[in-house]
Amino acid sequence: MEGIGISVMEHLLLSQRESPAATGQFTRLLTELIFSAKIIAREVKKAGLVDILGLTGDINVQGEQVRKLDDFANRVLIYRMQRCGVLCAMASEENADIIEVPEDMPRGSYLLVFDPLDGSANIDVNVNIGTIFSIYRKVSEGDTVRLSDFLRTGLEQVAAGYFLYGPSTMLVYSTGDGVSGFTLDPSVGEFLLSHPKIVMPERGKTYSVNEANEMYWDERTKKTVAFFKSNQNERGKPYRARYIGALVADFHRNLLEGGIFMYPADKKDPAKPRGKLRILCEAFPLAFLAEQAGGAATDGAMRILEIQAKTLHERVPLFIGSKADVETATRLMRQI
């Protein structure tokens, strides 16, 4: 019926019915995640009107200044998700260690990894930000949750997605059967299916990279970025540069319109060349979505999803987006 879309709940229940082994636990998890995101979206919308902008004065595990909204989003997610009854532990970009669901609360077998507010440096200037999440099943035996339960390959994700707080609030997620996008209808407070079966264009027209880092790049990286600057896309036009500085927003644009996002390794710390983005809470979930939408993601040499995470806050170089563009970048990065 016109004007009444498919709600995310209806979508979830339909998928649940299609998999006979489903117990409803995953639906419960996502329902609580959606509720948390609605609370975060409500607060984001008030930014500028209430005292939620600026810094808390703390430094997080990444060595970055914590912003008030970052801290708020992190606390909402931990508080709500601990109570959903189907998780045994979580890992947040903001917390040094894993967060176990307390023993006096109902526990399940799922694990949740999240970046509570990606792109949080954009908060104070009213530019898009988002919450990225990734879901796994516990693999170790017994009740104790081990660090090894989180140190997996991206291929083991059960689901991944993000909430984007922009002009409209969106949920984009995949359970391994394609990617669906939902837009929050604020008048009824429901996410409605707005982007069914998202397919990333094979080649894009946009490249996104922080070119101010060029002085820290090696020759291969400089050549790879130069390729996108000087070459033509499939429409015979030069690629255009777009960089928001919030991975989730840059990724979302490229997911819908095609293109490549690059955050290569750099030598800002000359002793330790490395990428900036976190493998567990940024690279794995977005690589999962990219592949599910027909795109690709590598670290410049290897498929992101095949990498074995070694630490909770490990960082990785990232080349992600339209398949042909990522293949080109990976080929150029492999050349000596």
Using CB under 6 A as the criterion, which residues of the chain lie in contact with ligand AFP when the complex forms? 64, 118-121, 210, 245-247, 276-277
CA 236 to chain centre: 31
The least distance separating ligand AFP from the CB of residue 126, rounded to whole angstroms, comes to 14
Helix, strand, coil shares of the chain, percent, nearest 5, are 35, 25, 40
Residue 38 or 278 having the CB closest to ligand AFP: 278
Give the residue among 247, 323, 312 at the shortest CA–CA distance from 286: 247
Residue 247 or 329 having the CB closest to ligand AFP: 247
The least distance separating ligand AFP from the CB of residue 118, rounded to whole angstroms, comes to 5
> Tokens standing for 70?
């970052």
Residue 114 or 182 having the CB closest to ligand AFP: 114
The least distance separating ligand AFP from the CB of residue 62, rounded to whole angstroms, comes to 7
Residue with structure tokens 């176990």?
A: 100
The least distance separating ligand AFP from the CB of residue 277, rounded to whole angstroms, comes to 6
The least distance separating ligand AFP from the CB of residue 295, rounded to whole angstroms, comes to 17
> Tokens standing for 231?
């070459």
- CA-CA distance, 34 to 282, in Å (whole number)? 19
Amino acid letter at 38? K
Residue 200 or 277 having the CB closest to ligand AFP: 277
8 Å CB contact between 45 and 96: no
Residue 132 or 145 having the CB closest to ligand AFP: 132
> Tokens standing for 311?
């630490």
